[in-house]
Structure 1
Amino acid sequence: MEDFVRRLHHVGVVVNELQASLDWYRDKLGFEHQYSFTLPGAQVAMLVRGEARLEIFQVEGAAPMASEREEMETLLKRGGVNHFALNVDDLEETIPALAAKGVEIVIPPSSVPNNSGDRFAYIRDNDRMLVELFQSAS
């Protein structure tokens, strides 16, 4: 029974405006809108790019993201999930391409401090949520 989890299937994100987020993830990161559905008080859409899946929710009466979640110094002091990471092939190509599309670069390409050769960068989505881009050395 120890090996029942295979991999992460998707990440759920509450957004301010469903269509704006659908457009942003499509236009900036190349996600495709797979399908939509409704739940009581919520509009939901599943986005996919390769094996990465995002389920985005526009929920009636949801509070906007707390300002503490916008800055790395305060984000890490809040409980719960603080970001999600997407694998990319080449950060040195990806980051300038995203910047040219108007994506805010929060942390430029940097090395993971474990001597693995892995690299990362952080961007913000249209709702100012942090998204990590990760390039594996292997």
Structure 2
Amino acid sequence: MPSDMVNVRYLVDDVEASIDWYTHHLGFAVLTNYAPAFADVSRGSLRLLLSGPTSSAARPMSDGARPRAGGWNRIHLIVDDLAKEVARLKAEGAQFRDDMVKGPGGAQVLLVDPSGNLVELFQPANR
């Protein structure tokens, strides 16, 4: 594993569905697949760990709290043409959490993976 790789863990409801979604919609490549417990996929220097309900990451905490998918933290992917990406993803049946939002730094939209985790697509203002 390259030392400059960034690792992010997402809890997911279905590892196979998550692999399919990230590879099909966002161009990730499969590194390992130990479904139904775990898989990891990569895109550039991002390694996304997909931890299913039977993975060690999904075990209850000592206080009884159970980790679950679908929080508000998200990975942030930069795109060159956000409107074009949104149109492509909608045509492929991808679901969005909101409409595109524009601000002084650029435009963004939140995409929802099969487990409810968010992916922010962002187009900087200078693109």
TM-score with structure 2 setting the length: 0.74
| 8 Å CA contact retained: 1:52, 1:86 | no
Pick closer, same or farther for the CA change 1:48–1:101 going to 2, 3 Å: same
- What does residue 14 of structure 1 align with? 11
In 2: Cα distance, 1:65 partner to 1:49 partner = 21
In 2: Cα distance, 1:133 partner to 1:44 partner = 25
- What does residue 123 of structure 2 align with? 135
- What does residue 47 of structure 1 align with? 41
Which amino acid counterpart does residue 45 of structure 1 have in structure 2?
A
Q: Percentage identity across aligned positions?
A: 29
Q: For residue 97 of structure 2, give the secondary structure of its aligned residue in structure 1.
A: strand
- Deviations along 1:65-92, one digit per CA (max 9) or x if unpaired, are 37xx4xxxxx5xxxxxx22211112101
Question: Higher RCO, 1 or 2 (CA under 8 Å, sep at least 6)?
Answer: 2
Larger deviation, residues 126-135 vs 7-16: 7-16
> Which blocks of at least 5 consecutive residues in structure 1 are unaligned?
1-5, 70-74, 76-81
- Deviations along 1:12-49, one digit per CA (max 9) or x if unpaired, are 011111111101111111111012459xxx83222112
Aligned residues: 114
TM-score with structure 1 setting the length: 0.69
How large is the RMSD of aligned CA atoms in angstroms?
Answer: 2.6
Pick closer, same or farther for the CA change 1:35–1:65 going to 2, 3 Å: closer
| 8 Å CA contact retained: 1:32, 1:49 | yes
Pick closer, same or farther for the CA change 1:35–1:51 going to 2, 3 Å: same
